[in-house]
Amino acid sequence: MIAVILFPGTNCENESVRALQAVGLDAEVVRWNTSKDVSAYDGYLIPGGWSYEDRIRAGAIAAQDPLMLKIKEEAKKGKPVIGICNGCQVLIETGIIPGLKDKVQMALAPNIRDYPSGFYCTWVNIKNSSKVCKFNSELSKDEVIPIPIAHGEGRFTTANKSLLEELQKNDQIAFVYCDSKGEVKNRFDVNPNSSELNIAGICNKEGNVLAMMPHPERGSFNRQVPGFKGDFNESESLAPAAKILQAMVKIKSQISGMSKNQESF
């Protein structure tokens, strides 16, 4: 069972549950103030929205919630954790991503472009760019994925430029913005928020935690993808973005296998 975490201001929890169910995973919404033992879940998805109205900075308050400390501990056990849009911001603010030091190392800064500035909602393309990220296990090398974005603070950046070099060295840059042919270009129609190195998603060094700004849960079905021309029956078939969530099935089974092996000793 995957826990879809609901903070005050989250607004993508229901479509996240549907997308997870579509790829074969059981999922349910779990409120931030739950009395349940969240360690019983097999994985976690932190959805988009505006948790706590994005006071101070996007994701900053939710990152301090005790629930995130519990999820951080479960992530250390190898469980899959994905933060999407506001969830991505939360993971960055906790320091779980990039996770190289036990502190915040990056920020999701406001989009900067001549026009339009601020919040921007559109479809973009991202490319699989990591062999380390376990969420990419269902994707082919350099596979291009059409996917929607909807954010005002999606610019991956850091004052420590050597960190970017370290992320590249560790193969932690999971997704980059590209054009439909897979070409990585730093221009508005490709990288609409001017993110450093065209970064769209970053994983931890172990690969089981992913923070990404684009929304795979909003582009998991072919009927959602612009230009789809299939018939009605095909419209419910899974789109390329669904593979990101589908990878949680494999990560979950790997964790389950490890647990069974440990029990046998």
Domain count, the chain: 1
| pLDDT on residue 232 | 62
Residue identified by tokens 């973005």 is 241
pTM here is 0.92
The mean per-residue pLDDT over the stretch 9-30 comes to 96
259 pLDDT higher than 80:
no
Could you tell me how far CA 65 lies from the centroid of its own chain?
A: 19
265 pLDDT higher than 90:
no
Which domain covers residue 20, as residue numbers? 2-264
The mean per-residue pLDDT over the stretch 79-106 comes to 96
Q: Of the residues 93, 138, 196, 217, which is catalytic?
A: 217
What confidence category does residue 258 fall into, taking pLDDT thresholds of 50, 70 and 90? Answer: low
Residue 205: closest CA among 229, 177, 173: 173
Q: Of the residues 12, 85, 178, 203, which is catalytic?
A: 85
The mean per-residue pLDDT over the stretch 213-224 comes to 94
Residue 100 phi, psi (nearest 5): -80, -25
Distance linking the first and last C-alpha atoms of the chain: 26
Q: Dump pLDDT digits (tens) for 182-194.
A: 999 999 999 999 9
Among 132-136, 147-151, 223-227, the least confident range: 223-227
260 pLDDT higher than 60:
no
Q: Of the residues 93, 151, 178, 215, which is catalytic?
A: 215
Residue 85 annotated in active site: yes
Identify the CATH number of the domain in which residue 190 sits: 3.40.50.880
Helix (H, G, I), strand (E, B) or coil at 107: strand
Residue 151 annotated in active site: no
